[in-house]
Amino acid sequence: MAGRKVSRAIGLLGIGLLAVLVGCGGAITASPEPTPTPGARFLMPTPGGTPSPSRTPTPEAIPYIVQEGDTLYEIALRFNVSVEDLIEANHLENPDQLRVGQELLIPAPRAPAVTPSP
């Protein structure tokens, strides 16, 4: 009789373990496939183009790919940064010579200066 109790206890334990595993099945999954970010743009190399010097973006900077018709002034307005900050962040020797497909790093907007109130 004791053998039957042990056998039954093992059987119930197995069923309980199976129920736990089935119940946790949704928690043990492979990581999801990455999905593209809407509006993301990728820099494609242009044949015969001069490679731009490699830059490591700072955590505050975001990359931007120059589009046809873009000017530094319009880009600066769009991202709420100054033209001077764009020139400095990208080490631009001639800011009047942007190329379509050129990658610019957009620095984080500077915090406005706080003036103490009287």
CA distance 70 to 100: 8
Q: What is the pLDDT of residue 109?
A: 80
Torsion 36-38-44-50 (CA) sign: negative
Could you read off the pLDDT tens digit of each residue along the chain, which spans 118 residues?
555 564 565 555 556 544 554 555 544 455 566 555 565 565 555 555 555 555 555 557 899 999 999 999 999 999 999 999 999 999 999 988 999 999 999 998 876 666 666 7
**Residue 86 CB: number of other CB atoms within 10 A?**
21
Residues 6+ apart with CB under 8 A from 58: 105, 107
Q: What is the pLDDT of residue 61?
A: 87
Q: What is the pLDDT of residue 9?
A: 54
CATH 3.10.350.10 is right for the domain spanning 62-106: yes
Q: Phi, psi at residue 62, to the nearest 5°? A: -125, 145
Q: What is the pLDDT of residue 52?
A: 53
Q: What is the pLDDT of residue 92?
A: 94
